[in-house]
Structure 1
Amino acid sequence: MFSKIFTSALFAGFLAGLIAAALQLVFVEPVLLHAELYEGGTLVHFGAEAVSAHQDLGPFDMVRNGLSVLFMALVYVAYALALVAFMSIAQDRHGATIDGRHGILWGIAGFVTVHMAPAFGLPPELPGVAAADLLQRQIWWGCTVVATGAALWLVAFGKGPVAWGIAVLLLLAPQVIGAPEPDVFIGPVPPELGSHFASRALGVGLAAWVLTGLFAGHFWQRETASGAARAAA
């Protein structure tokens, strides 16, 4: 069983991570590099003449972008390991069908759990913006991920209004409590760049999670079929 989980997750996460890295380099990295010009003082948002929204971001950095690709691949392998593990539990305990098509739903659930729900309180941030204490944000993020994941599991596999009521409470609780906020709002980066970065980061996250679920379901189904064929032989 572990071999099937690991193999499915490795292929699914690595492929999804490579595609996510490509999307990040094309759509997210330029916004981040632009913001770094403000963070470093090369550009000034207030108190100076208006600057162009289309800046020369310099040559392609092979080392930086290569490390970004490797990091994204490793991150999505880890995500895929968790996703495939839960897929296995759902199949064993609840008879869930696991294939590429159903894997897309699992991927969307993963995106909501890890990205969308936490982003309600802690949206993706550019460097240099005001932020609350790091430990407090990490604790809130972790609790939100656990609560959201448990809620979606209850929605999918819980039985009766009690389970669904608990799911609603788990979804709402972190947002009602609220994420830690900074005491003041400061930062050298134009808010237009901040909103652009957040929307693109979430969009790439959605695409990557959908692909992770699709690939994970596909490889899980393939490994299951291969195992059955070997057993029959």
Structure 2
Amino acid sequence: MFRSLIFGACLIGVITGLLLTAVQSVGVTPTLLAAEQFESSEAPAEVAHTHHNHTHGEGESADHHHDPDVWAPEEGTERWLYTALSNVLAAIGFSAIMLVVMNQLYVRGRLRLTPAHGLFVGACSYLVVFVAPAIGLPPEIPGTASPALMSRQLWWVFAVLSVAIGLGVLFLARRWKKVLAFPLLVLPYGFVPVHTGPLFENPDATVVASLMALHSDFIWISAITNLFFWLSVGLLCALILQRSYKTSQIGNEQAPA
């Protein structure tokens, strides 16, 4: 079963990672590129050495340092390939975790390996990994003024773990113990790292208005893209596990006594 889980995670990761990259190229990437155009249009003498912290739509935090000596992938095919590679590797990791969790729930009789249950687990994962952190720290476009990177990363990890445990207690605990889930679900929002000041520091009001519109669009585009990704992972995990158990059962029946 271990080999099946590893192979399944790699297969699902490649499929969903490439699908995610294709979907991102339609909405997420054009929005990021549009925001970067505003960022690069600022006065080079004043902005070339300014350090901007921002969070991309897929939950990754990135530090943009406008230094000509810093390597970055070229626009076009090279950027697409690096994006696809990072998406595939991340999808393999997420798929491996989901396969292990779903397999353990199935073994303990708490989950059936059906497409509907796979979609349900995918939806729960979407709530944990994207929605819960986004409530406190929404996805950001380049040029957004943000709290310190370390505080955002630590809060993101804590929010994901707290909400994951909370949902686990809510769905798996029995009777009155389910009540224990609610403090865990709301705990991260008591100390969200915040930035004091304007969201965009560009002095041009027209540019700020355009960036605000891009920022709003980016949140919704990221939400829809992530929902598609997690539902795909959940569905494929259920199908892969279902097939693995059927194959194993057939092999046991055909084995000589």
Question: TM-score, normalised on structure 1?
Answer: 0.88
In the alignment, the residues of structure 2 paired with residue 115 and residue 124 of structure 1 have an alpha-carbon distance, to the nearest angstrom, of 9
Identity of aligned residues (%): 27
Structure 1 contact 121–178 (Cα < 8 Å) conserved? no
User: Aligned residue for 1:134?
Assistant: 149
> What is the aligned partner in structure 2 of residue 83 from structure 1?
98
Offset at residue 42 of structure 1 (A): 6.0
Aligned to 1:120, the other structure's residue is in SS state helix
Say which of 206, 222, 228 aligns to 1:207. 228
Task: Tell me, in whole angstroms, the C-alpha distance in 2 between the residues paired with 1:66 and 1:32.
Answer: 16
- Whether 1:167 and 2:181 are equivalent positions in the alignment is yes
Structure 1 position 221 matched with structure 2 position 221: no
Alignment of 1:1-233 (within 5 A): 1-41=1-41, 61-162=76-177, 164-175=178-189, 177-187=190-200, 188=202, 190-233=211-254
Q: TM-score scaled by structure 2?
A: 0.80
Contact 1:94 1:157 in 2 (8 A): no
The one-letter code of the counterpart of 1:223 is S
Deviation at 1:145, TM superposition (A): 0.4
Deviation at 1:73, TM superposition (A): 1.3
CA distance in 2, matches of 1:232, 1:86: 27
Distance apart, 1:127 and its partner CA = 1.4
Which segment drifts farther, 219-228 or 87-96? 87-96
Q: Distance in 1 between matches of 2:197 and 2:75?
A: 35
Partner amino acid, structure 1, of 2:100: A
Distance 2:20 2:112 in 1: 26
User: After superposition, what is the alpha-carbon deviation per residue over 1:37-71, rounded to whole angstroms, capped at 9, x for unaligned?
Assistant: 1111269xxxxxxxxxxxxxxx9701001111121
Q: Distance in 1 between matches of 2:114 and 2:12?
A: 12
Provide the aligned C-alpha RMSD in A.
1.7
The alpha carbon displacement at 1:7 in A equals 2.1
**CA distance in 1: counterparts of 2:11 and 2:116, whole angstroms:** 17
How many Å separate the matches in 2 of 1:22 and 1:42? 30
> Gaps (5+ residues) in structure 1?
44-58
- Offset, 1:100: 2.3
1:148-199, CA deviations, whole angstroms, 9 ceiling, x for partnerless residues? 111111122110122x211111111112x13201132242451110011111
Hey, what does 2:58 align to over in structure 1?
none
Deviations 1:10-61 (A, max 9, x none): 2222211111110001111100000001111269xxxxxxxxxxxxxxx970
Structure 2 residue runs of 5 or longer lacking an equivalent are 44-73, 203-207
Number of positions where the alignment pairs a residue of Structure 1 with one of Structure 2: 216
1-side partners of 2:199 and 2:41: how far apart? 14
Q: Which amino acid aligns with 1:102?
A: H
Mapped to 2, the partners of 1:4 and 1:156 lie a distance apart of 27
Q: Letter of the aligned partner of 1:83 in structure 2?
A: M
